[in-house]
Structure 1
Amino acid sequence: MEKFRDLIHLLVTVFLSTFATLIVIPAITDVTMVAVCPGQDECSLAIYLSGFQQAIIGLGTVVMMPLIGNLSDQYGRKALLTLPMTLSIIPSAILAYSRTTNFFYAYYVLRTLTAMICEGSINCLAFAYVADNVLERQRTSVFGILSGITAAAFVCGTLAARFLSTALIFQVSAVVAMLAAVYMRIFLQESLPHGENLAQPILKSGQDDHSQDGGDLPMKPMVSKKIPSIQAITSLLRSSVTFSQAAIVAFFNSLSYGGLQASLMYYLKARFHFSKNQYADLMILLGVSGMASQLLFMPFLAPRVAEEKLLAIGLLGGIANALLYSVAWSRMPPPFLSVFEVFVSPCLRSIVSKQIGPNEQGKAQGCISGIISLANIISPLVYSPLSALFLSEDAPFNFPGFIFLCIGFSTMIAFFQSILIRAVPPISSHKSSSSSILA
C-alpha cells in the first residue's frame, strides 16, 4: 500500500510538470511569429529557429539522458528529478513577464539550454521509477497509465490555453511548474533498485570505497565513474537482440515525431491560417484520443495482446495519420488515429525494461531517451528545410503536404523493424518480485 501511494505521488508529479510544459504549446507559435515576423502567416525564419532549437536540444539530451538515467540508478530517482523540474520553471517565467522581441530571444536561449537537461528526463526517470516497483508482467499496463496521465495533462493544459490569454498562459505555466517541484520534494519517496538507501551524496568522493578495500589509491570524484561511455552504451545495446531492435524502432519513430513537431504548427499556420485557439482545439482532440487509449484501452489490451503487436499497431496508426495529413488540401482530417499512435511509447519502454536487470533500469531508459534525442537532432535538420521549401512560393512542385509523406516513410521503417521483434523471456523476473507493488 505504501508503494501504491508512492506511485500516486509520481503520477501527480508527472501530471503537474507535464501540464506546466504543455499549456504553452498552443501559444508559442503565435508568440514566435509576432516576435520574429510580425503580421505574417508564413515565416521561414521562425521555422528555422524552431528547427535549430530542436536540434541543439537533441544534441544536449543525447549526452544528458544516459547520464541522468545512470546517476539515478546510483543516487535515486527523486534526487535526479529535482534538477529538471527546477530548471523548467525559468523559460515560462521569462515570457510570463514579457513577450517582446528581446524577452523572446532571452526565452529562446534559456529554453534551449535548460531543455538539454529537462527535455524527456522527467518521463525517463518516471519510467525507471515504475520499473523499480512494478512486476514485469504488469509494466505495460502501468506504463500505459503513466502515458495516459501525460495525455490527461496535455488535454487539461490545452483546455486551459484555449480560454486563457497569452500572458496568463505563461504565468500559470510558471506557477504550476513551481508547484510540481515542491510537491515532488515533499511527497514523493526516494526509489532505488532493491530499495537500497542512499549511501552518499552525488558529489562525494570515493574515499569510503577505497578505505573499505584497504587500498591507498588517490581519491577521484564519484560522479566521474557514473558517466556512461560510448562503449558502455554500445555494450548495453548489444546485450539483447530485442533491446537493439527496440532502439531502432525508437530512433525512426522519433525521427518521424520530431519532423511532425518541427513542421505541423507552421504548416497549419501557412495552409489553414491557424491561431492559438485552433491549435488548442486540435491538440484537445489529440489529447482526448491519447488519454482514452492509454487509460481505457491499454489496461484492457496489455494483458491480452503481446506488447510487440501493440507496438506495430501504434506505428501503423502513425503511418496512416501522416498520409492523411499529406493529402489535406482544404481542411485538416480528424486525428482519431492517434488512439493507436500512443501505444508506441509505453510498449517500447516496457519491452526495454524487461531486457535489463533491476540495477540498470535508469541506464536503459536513459539510453532509449538518448536515442530519441539523437533522432531529434537529425529530424529538424531534414524536415525544417523541406517544410520551409514546400510552404514557400519557390516549391519545386505544388505539394505542401510532401513533408508528411516523408514522415510516413520514416515511420514505415520503424514499423517493419517492429514486426521483427519477438517476445523474449525477461531476464529479471526473479529479481523484481520483492519490489512489486501489485504482487
Structure 2
Amino acid sequence: MPVHAPASPPTARKAALAFIFVTVLLDILAFGVVIPVLPRLIKQMAGGDMVSAAHWVGLIATVFAVVQFFFNPIQGALSDRFGRRPVILLSNLGLGLDFILMALVQTLPWLVIARVISGMTSASFSTANAYIADVTPPDKRAAAFGTLGAAFGVGFVLGPALGGTLGDIDLRLPFWIAAGLALANFCYGFFVLPESLPRERRSLQFELRRANPIGALLLLRRYPQVYALAAVVFLSQLAHYVLNTTFVLYADYRYDWGPQAVGFTLGFVGVCNGIVQALLVGRIVRHLGERRAIFIGLTFGALGFAWQGLAPTGWLSLAAIPLLALWGFAGPATQALVTRQVDPGEQGRLQGALASLTSLAGILGPTLYTQIFGWSINKDSPLHLPGLAFLLAASLLLVALAVAWKATRPAADAASATDAAHP
C-alpha cells in the first residue's frame, strides 16, 4: 500500500528545498570542476603514456562505481537511523578532505585510494532524494526532484567550464577549488540545514545485514511496483552511460570534433537539461500525472539516442540534445512514484538501493559501450556502424518503457476504479 508522509508546512518546505538545492549544486560544482582535468592528471602520472593512462582511467572509474555500489545502502540505512543531516554533513566533509588528498598525491595507486574514499563518502545525492521525500507531499515530489535535476544541470554547465579554465593554469588547482566547495557546503549545512526526519519516524536500529546491496534489493522486493520501477531506473542509468563513456570518442571519430566543440556541446546539454528540469517537469507531471510523464520521458530518450546514433553530421546530431533533455521527465516522475510506496522510515534505504543500482550500471556501462564502439568502427567488423552504442541505449530505454508500462498499469487501473466509484 502507498505510504504518505505528513506534509511539512509550505514555508518550511520551501526553505528546506532551497537548502537542498544549494547543497546539491555545490556538490555538482565540486565534482564538475575536476571532470576536464582528472584524465589529464592521470596521464601526467602515467608518464604521458596514453595506453597506460586509458587503463588507469578505466580502473579508477570502475573502482569508484564498485565502492559506491556497496556503500550507498549503508549511507541510506544510516540516514534512516540517525537522520539525513548528519549523513549529508559527513559526506561533504569527507569529500572536501578527499579532494585535498587528490590535489596532493603524486602516484596513481594513491589516486585510486582517493577515489575509493570518494566512493565511500559521496552520499549527499541519494540522501538529498530521501530528504525531499521527507519534506514534500507525494503530489509535489516530482517537481521537487525536478528542482534537484536543475541543480545538476546548472552545476554540469558551470563546473566543467570552470575546471577547464583552472586546469589550464595548474592541473591540481581544480581539486583545491573542489575541496573548497565541498567544505563550504559542509559549513553551509552545519549552520543552515535543518533535519528532515523526526526521531519518531526513524528506524529503531541500524542493521548491517540489511545495509548492503543484497539487503537493499530485498527491501525493494517487499514493494512489487517499486521493484519493477527499480528495473526502470537501472535500465535508464545503464543507457545514460553511453554519453559518459562514448560520446567524446564518437564525436571525434564521426564528426571530427575537438575539445572546444565537445565543451560547447556539453554546455548546451546542461542548458537544455536545466530548462526541462526547472520549468517543465512540475507542469507536465501536474497535468499528465507521473505515469504518463515516465512514458513520455522514456520515449523522447529513446528517440534522442536513436537520432544521435544515426545523425550523419555534427550539426544534425545537435537536434538529439533537446530530445534527450525531455527524457528528463522520466527520472523525477519515477522517483516520485517510488517514494509513494515506501515507509517514511525507509526512504534512506530506498534511495541507497536505487543509488546502488546506478553504481551497478556504472560498473557495467563503461566496458559495454566502449567495447561496442570499438567493435563497430573496427575495419574488420562485419558491421560498420559508429552509432551502434547509441542504438543499444535507445533499445534499453524501450525495454524500460515496456517494464514501466506493466509496472504501473495495475496502479492506474485501481486509481481509475476508485475514481469511478467516487465521482
Which range, TM-score by smaller chain?
0.7 to 0.9
Residue 412 of structure 1 pairs with residue 398 of structure 2: yes
Residue 238 of structure 1 pairs with residue 240 of structure 2: no
Give the Å deviation of 1:144.
Answer: 1.0
* Cα separation, 1, equivalents of 2:378 and 2:121: 33
* Cα separation, 2, equivalents of 1:130 and 1:330: 41
| 1:342 aligned counterpart, secondary structure | helix
Are the counterparts in 1 of residues 209 and 215 from structure 2 also a CA contact under 8 Å? no
Give the Å deviation of 1:276.
Answer: 4.2
> Please, which of 114, 117, 135 is the counterpart of residue 114 of structure 1?
117
The alignment yields a C-alpha RMSD, in angstroms, of 3.0
Mark the CA change 1:235 to 1:267 in structure 2 (over 3 Å): closer, same or farther.
same
Mark the CA change 1:198 to 1:398 in structure 2 (over 3 Å): closer, same or farther.
closer
* Cα separation, 1, equivalents of 2:56 and 2:374: 11
**1:179-194 → structure 2 map (5 Å cutoff):** 179-192=184-197, 194=198
Give the Å deviation of 1:106.
Answer: 5.0
Mark the CA change 1:314 to 1:27 in structure 2 (over 3 Å): closer, same or farther.
farther
Residues 343-394 of structure 1 show CA distances to partners (whole Å, capped at 9, x for unaligned) of 2321221111001111111111111111222222222232232234445566
Residues 261-304 of structure 1 show CA distances to partners (whole Å, capped at 9, x for unaligned) of 12223333444454543332111111110110011111221211
* Cα separation, 2, equivalents of 1:370 and 1:270: 33
- Aligned twin of 1:87: 94
The two structures have a TM-score, normalised by structure 1, of: 0.80
> Please, which of 255, 258, 277 is the counterpart of residue 294 of structure 1?
277
Consecutive unaligned residues in structure 1, runs of 5 or more:
200-208, 210-221, 426-439
- Aligned twin of 1:248: 231
Residue 26 of structure 1 pairs with residue 29 of structure 2: no
Mark the CA change 1:420 to 1:82 in structure 2 (over 3 Å): closer, same or farther.
same
- Aligned twin of 1:172: 177
| 2:286 aligned counterpart, secondary structure | coil
> Please, which of 265, 272, 287 is the counterpart of residue 304 of structure 1?
287
* Cα separation, 1, equivalents of 2:86 and 2:154: 26
Mark the CA change 1:108 to 1:388 in structure 2 (over 3 Å): closer, same or farther.
farther
Identity of aligned residues (%): 22
* Cα separation, 2, equivalents of 1:54 and 1:392: 25
* Cα separation, 2, equivalents of 1:108 and 1:271: 33
Are the counterparts in 2 of residues 26 and 279 from structure 1 also a CA contact under 8 Å? no
* Cα separation, 1, equivalents of 2:136 and 2:233: 23
Give the Å deviation of 1:36.
Answer: 4.9
Residues 233-286 of structure 1 show CA distances to partners (whole Å, capped at 9, x for unaligned) of 344222222112211111111111123312223333444454543332111111
Aligned-partner residue type, residue 31 of structure 2: T
Are the counterparts in 2 of residues 90 and 110 from structure 1 also a CA contact under 8 Å? no
Residues 189-227 of structure 1 show CA distances to partners (whole Å, capped at 9, x for unaligned) of 1222x454999xxxxxxxxx9xxxxxxxxxxxx654574
- Aligned twin of 1:59: 66
Residue 350 of structure 1 pairs with residue 341 of structure 2: no
* Cα separation, 2, equivalents of 1:366 and 1:230: 9
- Aligned twin of 1:364: 350
The two structures have a TM-score, normalised by structure 2, of: 0.83
Mark the CA change 1:46 to 1:321 in structure 2 (over 3 Å): closer, same or farther.
farther
Residue 133 of structure 1 pairs with residue 132 of structure 2: no
* Cα separation, 1, equivalents of 2:307 and 2:89: 40
* Cα separation, 1, equivalents of 2:33 and 2:283: 29
Are the counterparts in 1 of residues 80 and 202 from structure 2 also a CA contact under 8 Å? no
Task: Please state which structure has a larger fraction of its residues in helix.
Answer: 2
> Please, which of 300, 319, 323 is the counterpart of residue 317 of structure 1?
300
Consecutive unaligned residues in structure 2, runs of 5 or more:
1-10, 413-423
- Aligned twin of 1:264: 247
Segment drifting more, 284-293 vs 79-88: 79-88
* Cα separation, 2, equivalents of 1:224 and 1:420: 33
Give the Å deviation of 1:47.
Answer: 4.7
Are the counterparts in 2 of residues 68 and 366 from structure 1 also a CA contact under 8 Å? yes
Mark the CA change 1:232 to 1:294 in structure 2 (over 3 Å): closer, same or farther.
same
Are the counterparts in 2 of residues 69 and 125 from structure 1 also a CA contact under 8 Å? yes
Residue 150 of structure 1 pairs with residue 152 of structure 2: yes
* Cα separation, 2, equivalents of 1:33 and 1:330: 31
Mark the CA change 1:240 to 1:295 in structure 2 (over 3 Å): closer, same or farther.
same
| 2:69 aligned counterpart, secondary structure | helix
* Cα separation, 2, equivalents of 1:272 and 1:34: 28
Segment drifting more, 24-33 vs 261-270: 24-33
